[in-house]
Amino acid sequence: MSEPFMYMRKKKNKYYTALAIFLVFVSILGYMLLTSFYPKLSLTGKIIDEVRPNSTITISAELGIPELKVSGDFKSVKLSGNSESPLYIEGSKFPLASKNNFLVFENFTGDVNFDQNEISKISGKALRVSVNGVPMEPRIKGTTLKISVDNFNYNDLGIEDEVVIKEISYSTSGSININNGKNIFSLDGEQIIVEDFVGDLKILGGKFKLDGFVKKLDINGKSAITISS
């Protein structure tokens, strides 16, 4: 093989090697820049959920209603009932005493306090409000409506996507379904502790319903049971 040909081949190999190194460098640099603007973006392109606990334990429970305060950003809060106190929307009063009312707060950020008798307080902001089917939105697009209501005698309550509860601890009766029927527990006045729940919450027919994920569940009654991830 002639020397000029060998020289040209070596030069060509060096060119491809340099090109490959350059492309790898550009790819790494591009990924670093992308993740600096979008830190939740993983190598697979999936968004990492920072709220959901690192848990594979699914829970579906129907229990007695605890005394509880729930705070956060929710897709919707829906409730029906009445109150001697009015609903306040941006300072305007809406009477709720005359009939069974149906209220919907969409994209709600705030607090919901309740027990088995009443919703003692709802306070926060919503992107859209519906009172008995009549929708209300802010005058300025993209802003929110400040809302509050006290001592609401509710028939049902639904809070969707995603309710985060650090801990629930109380004595209750009902049923708990773990991991889609792999474990089912019937409770009769037993103490439970639910830790790091994430999911949906409903109160319907006098029952407190949870559907989502938990990090840990303790049941102390006729027997002591602990399930954790």
- What are the pLDDT digits (tens) for 77-113? 999 999 989 999 999 999 998 778 999 999 999 999 9
**Spatial separation of the C-alpha atoms in residues 129 and 125, rounded to whole Å:** 10
Q: Shortest CA distance to 175 belongs to which of 60, 56, 57, 58?
A: 60
Q: What is the pLDDT of residue 29?
A: 53
Q: What is the pLDDT of residue 34?
A: 41
Q: What is the pLDDT of residue 17?
A: 62
pLDDT category of residue 44 using cuts at 50, 70 and 90:
very low
Strand partners, 213: 58, 198
Tell me: pLDDT of 156 over 60: yes
pLDDT category of residue 13 using cuts at 50, 70 and 90:
low
Question: Would you tell me how many other CB atoms lie within 10 Å of the CB of residue 194?
Answer: 23
Q: What is the pLDDT of residue 98?
A: 72
Concatenating the DSSP letter of every residue in 142-202 gives T--EEEEEEEEEEEEEEEEEEEEEEEEEEEEEEEEEETTTTEEEEEEEEEEEEEEEEEEEE
pLDDT category of residue 21 using cuts at 50, 70 and 90:
low
Q: What is the pLDDT of residue 14?
A: 57
Please report, as a single letter, which amino acid is at residue 5.
Answer: F
Taking residues 20-42, report their average pLDDT: 50
Percentage of the chain beyond pLDDT 70 is 76
Tell me: pLDDT of 164 over 90: yes
Tell me: pLDDT of 73 over 90: yes
Average pLDDT over the chain reads 83
Q: What is the pTM of this model?
A: 0.73
**Spatial separation of the C-alpha atoms in residues 50 and 16, rounded to whole Å:** 42
pLDDT category of residue 65 using cuts at 50, 70 and 90:
very high
205-219 tens-digit pLDDT? 999 999 999 999 999
